[in-house]
A = this chain, B = another copy of it.
Amino acid sequence: MATINDNYLKLKAGYLFPEIGRRVSAYAADNPDAPIIKLGIGDVTEPLPAACRDAIIEATKEMGDRATFKGYGPEQGYLWLRDKIAQHDFQSRGCDIDASEIFISDGSKCDCGNILDIFGDDNKIAVTDPVYPVYVDTNVMAGHTGDAAADGKYEGLVYLPISADNDFTAQIPTEKVDLIYLCFPNNPTGATATKEHLQAWVEYAKQHGSLILFDAAYEAFITDPDLPHSIYEIEGAKDCAIEFRSFSKNAGFTGTRCALTVVPKNLTGKASDGSDVELWKLWNRRQSTKFNGVSYIVQRGAEAVYSKAGQAQTKELIAFYLENAKIIREQLTAAGIKVYGGTNAPYVWVKTPNGLSSWDFFDKLLLNCNVVGTPGSGFGAAGEGYFRISAFNSRDNVNEAMKRITDKFKA
């Protein structure tokens, strides 16, 4: 009899966003005319930059001529795209990252999960609390945890609490962990990390032979010139960090799908015989065997992000969403609600007013204001009493949502 992966049964009911979708759908079914505004899931709303669209259309036309038709591309992505990424996103910031160390993929969510394929099952794994749920759930699925306790924490994982007390940056652990997930600018709290904070992590990792899985999906939202965009801006990070990036949030690719993962060539992990094995080779083998590359036309669209027009258009998109975030921050603050994040990130992290639980605040906003956000407790036990509001929406919707919330809570 075919057996299943029992670890899936440890997963708590429903990934966070499907549960939000369920509650919103139920409310919308009962109130079909309710003018619901969604500031929940971190999905972009503004058009794909013209430079990207033009490049995709051009590439699609190429597919109509056998002389320029493209079949299977390199599983790692086309070199013309990897070269531009290496130059613009890394070398221009002083990071010694070569195009060959960049793997193009169809999503950071996929890569964050798939990366576990190349690691052993005996690694001690640390996540922040709250945290992007995919890091945790994929470790549960891979059998790296025990069952979940009543507070939702899985046995075997090391949770590093982040809260207002530590500026939403975790304290470096005293115990030894092998894999550490870090995400800056942070999802869900919108917090950022200074070079000093990342330097401390890199030193910890080098001291313990740990590996940092650095999620930089929101780096484009950094406006403060002192903040690092890549972990490779930190000395020594190439020896202890893998970085994930995405075109989803800077160029509006959530529905177009393109991302990348950087695996430096000198990074190694331990085999059970004690030998050092290059992680680049393992990831290359993983991607060659279980992946077939990103659509050619989509890669051409991603390449256009680095054109002069593409740079100007993505910059404008980012500025637009950051202005939304500013409005959210200011309006909620004026209504007497305490907020964090949202200055170098598209997320505003809200302390729920009146001691409401995260889900109670969710229901209250949905029912009274027809505004959808994301309960902080959905990101982990320490997110209880917080709430994430996303800046991804039109200006009119953001203004209207803030008006409804302030009208309700200002009183």
- Expressed in whole angstroms, the Cα–Cα distance for A271 and B1 within the complex equals 10
Considering only CB atoms, which chain B residue lies closest to A208 in the complex?
B1
Let me know if A315 is at the binding interface, CB within 8 A: no
Picked from B57, B255, B292, the residue with its CB within 8 Å of the CB of A71 is: B255
Picked from B3, B11, B134, the residue with its CB within 8 Å of the CB of A123 is: B3
- Expressed in whole angstroms, the Cα–Cα distance for A408 and B204 within the complex equals 64
The residues in A between 60 and 86 inclusive whose CB is less than 8 angstroms from any CB of B are: 60-61, 63-66, 69-73
CB distance from A187 to the nearest CB of B (A): 14
CB distance from A143 to the nearest CB of B (A): 9
- Expressed in whole angstroms, the Cα–Cα distance for A113 and B292 within the complex equals 11
CB distance from A203 to the nearest CB of B (A): 16
> In the complex, which residues of chain B have a beta carbon less than 8 angstroms from the beta carbon of A118?
4-5, 8
Let me know if A298 is at the binding interface, CB within 8 A: yes
Considering only CB atoms, which chain B residue lies closest to A254 in the complex?
B71
> In the complex, which residues of chain B have a beta carbon less than 8 angstroms from the beta carbon of A109?
289-292
Let me know if A41 is at the binding interface, CB within 8 A: yes
Name which of A46-54, A93-101, A375-383 contacts chain B: A46-54
Let me know if A297 is at the binding interface, CB within 8 A: yes
List chain A positions with a Cβ less than 8 A from chain B. Answer: 1-6, 8-9, 11, 15, 18, 41, 43-48, 50, 53, 56-57, 60-61, 63-66, 69-73, 106-107, 109-110, 113-114, 117-123, 134, 137-138, 141, 178-179, 208-211, 252, 254-257, 269-272, 277, 279, 282, 285-286, 288-298, 394
